[in-house]
Chain A
Amino acid sequence: MRDTHHLPFLLGCLAALLLLPFVLQATGSSYLISTATRLVVFAIAAVSLDLLIGYTGLVSFGHAAFLGVGAYTVGILSFHAYEDTTLIGLPGTLSGLVAIPLALALSALAALIVGALSLRTRGVYFIMITLSFGQMLFFLFVSLEQYGGDDGMMMFEGRNRLPLLDLNDRISFYYFCLAWFVLFFWFCTWLVRSKFGRTLAAIKQNQDRLSSIGINAYWAKLQVFVIAGVGAGLAGALSANHTEFVSPALTHWTRSGDLMIVVILGGMGTLVGPVLGTFLFLLLEEFLPLILRGLGLGLLSEHWRFVFGPILILVVLYAKTGLYGLIFPRRG
Chain B
Amino acid sequence: MSQLFLEQLLNGVQLGMFLFLVSAGLTLVFGFMNIINLAHGSLFMIGAYAMALIGGVTGSFLLALVLSLPVVACAAWVIEVVIIRRLHERDHLDQVLATFALILFINEGTTMLFGRVPLFMDVPASLSGTVTLPGGVTYPLYRVAIIGAGLAVALALWLIIARTRVGMQIRAGTTNRETVEQLGVNIDRLNTLIFVVGAMFAGLAGALAGPLTSVEVGMGENLLILCFVCVVIGGIGSVRGAMLGAITVGVVDTMGRAFVPDILGRFLDPATASGISAGLSSMSIYLLMVVVLVFRPTGLFPVARSV
Contact = CB atoms under 8 A, between A and B. Distances in A.
Contacts of B275: 143-146, 149
Nearest to B291: A117
B45 to A, nearest CB: 15
A299 B221 CA distance: 25
Interface string B80-121: 000100100000111011101111111111011000000000
A305 B286 contact: no
Contacts of B30: 124
Given A121-B297, A143-B278, A264 B108 contact: no
A261 B286 contact: no
Interface string B35-68: 0100000000000000000000000000000000
A135 B223 CA distance: 13
Given A124-B36, A299-B112, A142 B278 contact: yes
B105 A310 contact: yes
A72 interface: no
A131 B293 CA distance: 13
Contact of B279 (A117, A144, A254, A313): A144
B20 interface: no
Contact of B290 (A117, A253, A309, A310): A117
Contacts of B289: 128-129, 132
Interface stretch (B6-14, B187-195, B206-214, B224-232): B224-232
B161 interface: no
B283 A136 contact: yes
B282 A143 contact: yes
Interface string B136-148: 0000000000000
Contact of B92 (A59, A129, A146, A316): A59
B101 A303 contact: no
Contact of B98 (A123, A129, A306, A316): A316
B4 interface: no
A127 B91 CA distance: 12
Interface residues of B, number: 45
Interface in A58-72: 59, 61
SS class of chain B's interface: helix, strand, loop or mixed?
A: helix
Given A133-B286, A135-B286, A143-B276, A257 B100 contact: yes
A201 interface: no
Nearest to B104: A309
Nearest to B228: A128
Contacts, number: 133
Contact of A123 (B92, B111, B225): B92
A261 B279 contact: no
Given A123-B92, A149-B275, A305-B107, A136 B286 contact: yes
B228 A120 contact: no
Contacts of A309: 101-106, 108
A121 B279 CA distance: 26
A115 to B, nearest CB: 12
Contact of B86 (A133, A139, A142, A317): A317
B236 A264 contact: no
B107 to A, nearest CB: 7
B229 A313 contact: no
Interface in A131-162: 131-133, 135-136, 139-140, 142-146, 149
Contact of B282 (A125, A129, A139, A144): A139
12 contacts: A59-B92, A120-B297, A125-B293, A128-B228, A132-B229, A143-B278, A257-B96, A260-B97, A261-B97, A305-B107, A309-B105, A316-B97
Given A132-B290, A309-B102, A316-B98, 18 more contacts: A124-B36, A125-B232, A129-B232, A129-B289, A131-B225, A135-B283, A142-B282, A143-B283, A260-B93, A261-B100, A305-B108, A306-B108, A309-B106, A310-B101, A310-B105, A312-B97, A312-B104, A316-B101
Interface of A: 53, 59, 61, 117, 120-125, 127-129, 131-133, 135-136, 139-140, 142-146, 149, 253-254, 257, 260-261, 264, 299, 303, 305-306, 308-310, 312-313, 316-317, 320
